[in-house]
Structure 1
Amino acid sequence: MTKLRNLTSAEIATVESLGTTAEDWSRIRVSEDFNPRQLLHSRLTGRVELASGARIIDSHVGNYRIGERSIVRQVTSLECRRESTFGNGTPVATMNECAGRTVLICDALTAQAAYAMAVYRHRPAFQEAMRRMVRDRAELRRATMGSVGRDCRIAGARFIREMRIGDRVTIDGASLLEEGTLCDGAQAGIDVKASHFIAAEDSRLDRGALVERCFVGESCILSNGFTAADSLFFANSHCENGEAVSIFAGPYTVSHHKSSLLIAGMFSFFNAGSGSNQSNHLFKSGAVHQSVHLRGCKFASGAYIMSPALEGAFTMILGHHSFHHDTSDFPYSYLIEKDGRSMLMPGANLTSYGAVRDIEKWPARDKRSVGRDLINFEEYNPYVCGGFVRAVNTLHALAEADPDAATYNHKKVIIKSTMLRRGITLYNKAIVASLGAMLAKGASCPDADGRGRWIDAAGQYVTKRAMEELLDDVERGSVADFAAFDARLRAFAARYDDYAHSYAEELLAGVLGHRPDAQEVADAVASGRNAHGAMRRATDADRDRDCSIEMAVSYGLDADPDDPGQVREDYHAVRGLE
């Protein structure tokens, strides 16, 4: 904010002649280069500060700072009626409707910090330290005046109350914004109603979105009447039309259909088909249950999950499932409904072109400019590879326990023996491909220890050991704010390839029975490339089947029956195929 001053008597007279009144002109301060035409047909109450080039037109403004070159036009009321922290410190009952995993939000929150706060509830000292960080941030923001940053445009809105608005923010036709923060570049559009919320950089609330007690992450979009309460949304999530209550929506959570209902769950890189319903319908002891759909899960149209439930990464879910399954040991699977039961096809999604397309599209659709959340996009990584290894071990154990069984029951799902054997083959191939990809990158460094279990912390692949060491340091007080918390994880992310290389070396050593030499590493890299090539041939064949002429039904609508060429030409013109 530039140096401010009071208006002169002549300026006050001119401003009043232009239709603007003030409750008390002594509490109105303007920049040195103030022009009376910056205030037109408006009403000012309380303290108002106007920076260079800022304008207020046809609006009521009370207790607000308006930044350089920003305009407030035709706003019923932009006011700060009381002391506020502008959404900082708001409790959000994510994942659990009974508030068992409540996360206090603030404008420094990241997906990784929120993940730790939601998941590690069994560490009370850590939880209290994180709450203290949020309270410190809230106190830093506490004020009796609202603020509008530089180069903002606020027009046609009704009530904006107790809001902290960053730079380059656009508010166009919003109905109600209160007790919240819009960070730099955020947008709030027509008929939006939002309260007790924080919207991160370049996020967008639009077209009648209704938001209450939510964090909306960087470059997220909530639009077209989407209703969200007590939920967290992180980078590049895009939700329209449907409803979300108490969800943790990790990066790239997508739901576009009016009939989607997501309640009390964790999602990440997720897509909800039409009619998707993940809800908590067991109320014997209250709405205490939750479901977790690990990275890359996808709901087909009409899919239904009754909590509690857990699916492995990159699982495709079709049909209704109400037996509370746990398929976390089986990434890249199909979970289907068969005769009213849940049937698992282990590893079946490894042959689907849809999974490949998803993995390739996510980095291409990354719209972030700040990079608030940490995201790993690597297809072959220690987290999923660990799932492949557990899947092979589990499937072998099932087969060895009953070699002649036609079907196997495992954690509330049925696995056919044919699918079990096929799953072992697919997972082994994926392990080889993963090892080769990880060994081909990074370096063998003693100080980059990637051995042991890895986790997916809302988008970031990190060793469980590194996460727990970070939580220990938070409890001890050596990591005392969000910047320090984030810096530790960014340091790990900067050397991700080295940590992944270390993990792969350890896994290869377990296979060989000794530490691999340079030639054995090179052989593993070559084998990985071959395995990857074979897997891509399978997914390409899946794509070719989906794009084959047999799928041209309904194309060439007016084609002559004896001229299949017209059908083919129309099909190729529309599908863009050679």
Structure 2
Amino acid sequence: MTYKFSKKDKEFRKLKKNEIEFLKSQGCISQSWDKILIKNVDLNRIKDVSFHGKIKIKELNGNVSYHNKVKVEASITRATLIDVMINGNVYINNVGRLIANYEIEDGVIIENAGAIYMEGESSFGNGVETSPIMEGNGRSVKIFNRLNSHIAYIVAMYRHNFVMREKINKIIENYSYSKISKFGLIKKHAKIINARLIKNAHIDPYTTIENTDEINNTTIISAKESPSYIGTSVILKDCIVLKGAHIVDGTVIKKAFIGEGVKLGRQFSCEDSLLFANCEGEHGEMFSIFAGPYTVTHHKATLLIASHFSFFNAGSGTNQSNHMYKLGPYHHGFMERGCKTGSNSYILWPSRIGAFSTVIGAHYDNVDSSDFPFSYITEHGYHQTRLIPALNLFGVGLTRDENKWIERDRRTGDKKDLIIFEVFSPYTVSKMINAEKILKDIKNDIKDGKDDFVMYKNMIIKISSLDKYSQRYSIAIDLYLCGKLLDFIKNCKNINDIIENLKCEKIYNEWVDAGGLICAKERLDNIIKDIENDKIKDIEDILKAFENLYNNYYADEKSWVIDIIKKRYSIENVNKEIIIKILNEYISLLKTSYDILYRDAKKEYDISKMVSCGIDDRNVMEEDFKAIRGTVEDNAFVIKYKKDMDEKIKDINKIIELL
């Protein structure tokens, strides 16, 4: 028997008697043929299919892009369909168990799948309550498709704002309710290959699901320009996954939000956590973590538990404790942006670690180094913690970080997390100004010189180095302020233009880092008040408010910098002499900072770093090292830093000549 296809159906219609007989001859069966509706379908392409319930098939008559440039005929072969709508040219081949209660769009490939079905109603992960930062519901956040790091931050960290939390949760609940359906959806050009179980899942266009174990109560957001990939042996339960995610190698994720450009693999496990833009996880484990943008953990035996991180890099064997076997796992920690941990580091929660600090060794006291950004926190003696303030300020690693993060942004198109990448900002520099004062006050309060160390918030600080620590902060503060001043005035044409350009708008003194978005605290507080007072009523309003925060950052920073410059250098009125004096001091600071950075970089080319070279002939050790590493003078990063310094000095001299 042969069925002749002609593209003539303008509307869905039931099968004709001869068409039913033809399908039977193709190995198809159904208990209710009258519930099958078709539109422009070539029945020659349907073989060995068992139909149950209501079936609608549309446009099964063209080709499907299969692999690279290879195309195959759209078809359905060896499958059981229960209450399914096929809405376009698809390729479905060899479904082991069933596809039930799903709409499948044009260009979709489903091959060698186990079961794809809906069970009851689902919101596909929207509205799932996670417990980041603190186990239990102490800082719980409900996840949904449009969550970003800033919304999550205020919900988790501003627990005391009960009305705000209640209203945001209501907005999320309403959004989640709008997503509830008895029907699942597999959108255009998605690929499901060798997947064992997909249950109550929403799958966006261009998603690839390959050799995956289980996807359950989950939404996977994807787009052509930024497709998501879910790979071998992955388990996803109660999750939201945003576009550009790459999850492979037996990763197990439960009750989690996976942000844009996140990469997870190598048996990584994650539960009750939020991972935002460009986070990476391999080998280790996350439990109850707020992983702000660029949180990275790559090593085995690394546990991140009950804490906040962002722009973070975990050393191998990093660990923390979140309870003391008393009232339960209620303790939690906070590591500000840019922190790193050394191998086998350990921190007892609750503790708070200042921005861009490095933690080395084990720490058994509850420490707070938030007053001292850019520091080293090291183990000292027997169970003591030593704080070395400002040690990270002029290292080559810190200088690389800012550009590194921008270059490694895997997101495309619309970006949910609004990130301020700058290492030095009003947020970090205001802390440095405070640290500078604290160190001077500590020194003034010391009455005798008998002790080697002074205690500060469960950390010891070396007394003889207080001036050195303070001076490091001073140099870095002045570098930032002078550098910003240069940016503000380098395009000015005369002193009047400069004076006009250095006028302040409203000055915000307090700054926060709300999930990667550095902003004035007052502006963030105003968003919270607007939510509480119903001036912000829906998710669109919240997203717009944070976008305005982001757009106002550089203007707010400028006003803050100008105000600090006037206060720090005792300037009442800006004039030519003052500008020239500051710019000349800036030249000196640039040269000083380059010398410090150069000396730090030179350590990487020291003879001690060559011990693994010239293995069979120590006489060629230096030549072997030079062949693979070059010299400090031809290091690309050092060259770029020197070039940037020279360009700034050139701009400074132009302004001085102009004046």
Using structure 1 for the length normalisation, give the TM-score. 0.94
Matched, 1:30 2:58: yes
CA distance in structure 2 between the aligned counterparts of 1:446 and 1:119, rounded to whole angstroms:
35
With over 3 angstroms needed to count, the CA separation of the structure-2 counterparts of 1:165 and 1:362, relative to structure 1, is same
Asked whether the 8 Å contact 1:450–1:463 carries over to 2, the reply is no
The answer for the alignment partner of 2:408 in structure 1 is: 365
Aligned residue among 370, 377, 380 for 2:424: 380
Question: What does 1:472-491 correspond to in 2, within 5 Å?
Answer: 472-491=529-548
Asked whether the 8 Å contact 2:614–2:624 carries over to 1, the reply is yes
Question: What does 1:220-235 correspond to in 2, within 5 Å?
Answer: 220-235=262-277
Aligned residue among 481, 486, 493 for 1:435: 481
Greater shift, 397-406 or 252-261, is seen at 397-406
With over 3 angstroms needed to count, the CA separation of the structure-2 counterparts of 1:21 and 1:272, relative to structure 1, is same
What's the secondary structure of 2:12's corresponding residue?
Answer: strand
Matched residue type, 2:320: Q
TM superposition shift of 1:539: 2.2
Matched residue type, 2:76: L
TM superposition shift of 1:528: 4.3
CA distance in structure 1 between the aligned counterparts of 2:349 and 2:612, rounded to whole angstroms:
40
Asked whether the 8 Å contact 2:331–2:350 carries over to 1, the reply is yes
The answer for the alignment partner of 1:568 in structure 2 is: 622
CA distance in structure 2 between the aligned counterparts of 1:492 and 1:526, rounded to whole angstroms:
34
The answer for the alignment partner of 2:506 in structure 1 is: 449
Structure 1 segments unaligned to the other structure (5+ residues): none
Task: For residues 77-98 of structure 1, give each alpha carbon's deviation from its aligned partner in whole angstroms, at most 9, with x where no partner exists.
Answer: 1111111000000000110112
Aligned residue among 89, 114, 120 for 1:76: 114
Aligned residue among 264, 277, 281 for 1:239: 281
With over 3 angstroms needed to count, the CA separation of the structure-2 counterparts of 1:156 and 1:88, relative to structure 1, is same
Higher relative contact order (CA 8 A, sep 6+): 1
The answer for the alignment partner of 1:107 in structure 2 is: 145
With over 3 angstroms needed to count, the CA separation of the structure-2 counterparts of 1:488 and 1:442, relative to structure 1, is farther
Matched residue type, 1:39: I
Matched residue type, 1:337: E
What's the secondary structure of 2:454's corresponding residue?
Answer: strand
Task: For residues 487-514 of structure 1, give each alpha carbon's deviation from its aligned partner in whole angstroms, at most 9, with x where no partner exists.
Answer: 2222232232211111111112222445
Asked whether the 8 Å contact 1:51–1:69 carries over to 2, the reply is no
With over 3 angstroms needed to count, the CA separation of the structure-2 counterparts of 1:529 and 1:364, relative to structure 1, is farther
Greater shift, 131-140 or 329-338, is seen at 131-140
The answer for the alignment partner of 1:400 in structure 2 is: 444
Aligned residue among 517, 540, 547 for 2:605: 547
Greater shift, 361-370 or 476-485, is seen at 476-485
CA distance in structure 1 between the aligned counterparts of 2:399 and 2:49, rounded to whole angstroms:
60
Aligned residue among 44, 57, 61 for 2:81: 44
Asked whether the 8 Å contact 2:60–2:74 carries over to 1, the reply is no
Greater shift, 330-339 or 357-366, is seen at 357-366
Identity percentage of aligned residues: 29
CA distance in structure 2 between the aligned counterparts of 1:323 and 1:198, rounded to whole angstroms:
36
Structure 2 segments unaligned to the other structure (5+ residues): 1-9, 29-45, 64-72, 490-500, 635-659
Matched residue type, 1:40: T
Task: For residues 36-83 of structure 1, give each alpha carbon's deviation from its aligned partner in whole angstroms, at most 9, with x where no partner exists.
Answer: 95211111012x122222222112211111122111111101111111
What's the secondary structure of 1:177's corresponding residue?
Answer: strand
Matched, 1:21 2:64: no
What's the secondary structure of 2:614's corresponding residue?
Answer: coil
TM superposition shift of 1:523: 4.8
What's the secondary structure of 2:99's corresponding residue?
Answer: strand
TM superposition shift of 1:33: 4.9
With over 3 angstroms needed to count, the CA separation of the structure-2 counterparts of 1:261 and 1:19, relative to structure 1, is same
What's the secondary structure of 1:429's corresponding residue?
Answer: helix
Task: For residues 283-325 of structure 1, give each alpha carbon's deviation from its aligned partner in whole angstroms, at most 9, with x where no partner exists.
Answer: 3121111111100100000100010000110001000001100
Greater shift, 461-470 or 276-285, is seen at 276-285
Aligned residue among 293, 302, 314 for 2:344: 302
Asked whether the 8 Å contact 2:132–2:273 carries over to 1, the reply is yes
With over 3 angstroms needed to count, the CA separation of the structure-2 counterparts of 1:532 and 1:134, relative to structure 1, is farther
Task: Tell me which structure has the larger Cα radius of gyration.
Answer: 2
- RMSD of aligned Cα (Å): 2.1
CA distance in structure 2 between the aligned counterparts of 1:11 and 1:535, rounded to whole angstroms:
82
CA distance in structure 2 between the aligned counterparts of 1:67 and 1:446, rounded to whole angstroms:
57
Aligned residue among 103, 107, 130 for 2:168: 130
CA distance in structure 2 between the aligned counterparts of 1:135 and 1:298, rounded to whole angstroms:
36
Equivalent pairs counted in the alignment come to 570
Matched residue type, 1:56: I
TM superposition shift of 1:570: 2.1
